[in-house]
Amino acid sequence: MRRPTVKLRALERGDVDRLYRYANTARVAEHQVSFRLPTSRSDAKAFYERMRRSQTDRVFSVESSRGRYLGSVGLHDISWLDRTCEFGVVIADPRDWGRGYAAAAVRAGVAVAFDRLQLHRLEVPVLARNTVARSMYERLGFFPEGILRERRFFDGCYEDVVVLSLLSSERDD
């Protein structure tokens, strides 16, 4: 099977409605960890404005090779001194899950983080129950570092979060 290709582009004002839609898709929202997505159009617009001005966050829209919007890649809480950030990918439509888009978006985001931004370390928090995402990150070279017990509260329950990381020296192109 051929790997899909994706391209990253700057987050645009036109993405606000897309952010709003996928943030309010239960199957998408239930997999988010430390980065809570907007829940109203005004929240989505405020998120866009914050990301546009931020010195410590970079968010990119992910598009298919044909220009179809797929989701986003986020590099958050960038420490320019330590050259680290929290990294994450969201594929917005559950119908696109399992098709290789997330892995392609991770590869593209890793390239931006290490090649363009010259970061040294990426950290990814993943819900312990999300074995599909964890396996994907591990296949792409991320190393599981530990478990944050009952780190996330969602739908009336606390959940464990697994933290994975990738160093620039470990990158597997």
Q: pLDDT digit string (tens) for 32-82?
A: 675 565 577 888 888 889 999 999 999 999 999 999 999 999 999 999 999
Flag whether the pTM goes above 0.95: no
**113 part of a folded domain:** yes
- The answer to whether residue 20 scores a pLDDT higher than 80 is no
The pLDDT tens digits for 69-116 are 999 999 999 999 999 999 999 888 888 889 999 999 999 999 999 999
HSE on the CB side for 79, CA within 13 Å?
10
CATH of residue 92's domain is 3.40.630.30
Average pLDDT, the chain: 89
**132 part of a folded domain:** yes
Q: Assess contact for 165 and 120: CB atoms under 8 A.
A: no
**159 part of a folded domain:** yes
**49 part of a folded domain:** yes
Residue 122 — pLDDT band, cuts 50, 70, 90?
Answer: very high
Range of the domain at 155: 6-170
Candidates 136, 140, 162; CA nearest to 149 is 162
Number of domains in the chain: 1
Give CA–CA dist 155/74, Å, rounded: 24
Q: Assess contact for 40 and 58: CB atoms under 8 A.
A: no
**1 part of a folded domain:** no
Residue 84 one-letter amino acid: T
- The answer to whether residue 25 scores a pLDDT higher than 90 is no
Give CA–CA dist 127/125, Å, rounded: 7
Greater pLDDT, 139 or 47: 139
Give CA–CA dist 168/125, Å, rounded: 18
Give CA–CA dist 160/33, Å, rounded: 10
**48 part of a folded domain:** yes
- The answer to whether residue 14 scores a pLDDT higher than 80 is yes
pLDDT for the residue numbered 94: 85
